[in-house]
Amino acid sequence: MQIKINDVLRAYIEPLTEAEYMALERSVLAEGCRDALVLWQDTLVDGHNRYQICQEHGIPFKAVENTSFRDLDDVKLWMIDNNLGRRSISDYQRGVLALRKKEIVRARALELAAEAAAEDAAIAPPDGEAKPKPAAMPLTSREDIARAARLSSATISQIEKIQKTATPELVEAVRSGTISINAAATVASLPEDAQIAAVAGGKKELQKAAKEVRDLRTAGKPPKEAKGAREDGERDYNRNPTEADELRRENAALREKNAALLEEITALQRRISELASSSSQG
């Protein structure tokens, strides 16, 4: 079979870094292509990097066709869910994928609603025959998106802001881990030239830019009495955010993420128990 490459699908998932690609290449050269490539008819869906490595080095591989795909959106949803299930992707990548899923699901919900409205306007069905209704669609709220990505709602909100207002340079910085999601969302409120300059200055300059934005926001708020201020003039860390403050915020976000994971685990365990009970009764 002649495998086809769809450029949209190949670029749909964040590309591997150079180091990640080299590590994958070493693995394939040493152990072969262990996992089968996934196809939609004759178009490659999953395994673009492995396919490229196998082609370059003449390494044999297996390919399987997923016959459940109806259209390109089905393929994209499968790719999103497949990658959300991997532990190796970053929180930023998780958020981006969940937001992409939201857009596809939203478009489908609107399409189903339009179809239902058209059917309602047509000739009524025979008595006793129920009218078709749009299926209930997930990811209707930021909380749903956060749950799908196993992130906090606050983090999803920050990723949305980064996608809307961050320059490509700033996006690459957060994607590579040079700057945190929290700080990147703050820097994304700056003009484009200021964002680009901050990225060019490296991690310290990005942290400085984020701190300056927070300081300006704090200055624009009604003054509050400093908590725990000392008479000896010790710096008030509540009014002057530092890198330590940013780490505290990230720690709080991680705690919220952990709580969401525990909730998901509990729900899965409950479901397993229900299935086991149902199976034993049957």
17-40 tens-digit pLDDT: 888 899 999 999 999 999 999 999
Asked whether the predicted pLDDT for residue 41 surpasses 80, the reply is: yes
Burial class (CB in 10 A: 0-12, 13-18, 19+), 153: middle
Is residue 260 in a domain? Answer: no
Please say if the pLDDT value at position 124 is more than 60.
no
Contacts 24+ apart (CB under 8 A), 132-138: 134/109, 137/105, 137/106, 137/108, 137/109, 137/112, 138/105
In a domain, 1, yes or no: yes
What is the rounded distance in angstroms from the CA atom of residue 25 to the CA atom of residue 67?
Answer: 29
- 99 in any annotated domain: no
**Tell me, what's the pLDDT at 69?**
94
3-class state of residue 180 by DSSP: coil
In a domain, 55, yes or no: yes
54 located within any domain: yes
By residue range, what is the domain housing residue 54? 1-70
Number of folded domains that form the chain: 1
Per-residue pLDDT tens over the stretch 55-91: 999 999 999 999 999 999 999 999 999 988 877 788 9
Looking at residue 114, its pLDDT comes to: 79
E strands of the chain, at which residues? 37-40, 43-46, 63-65
Rounded average pLDDT over 51-55: 96
Q: Is residue 136 included in any domain, yes or no?
A: no
Is residue 48 a part of any domain in this protein?
yes
pLDDT value at 188 more than 70: yes
Model confidence at 238: pLDDT above 60: no
pLDDT band of 197, cuts 50, 70, 90: very high
Q: pTM for this structure?
A: 0.65
The answer to whether residue 19 is domain-embedded is yes
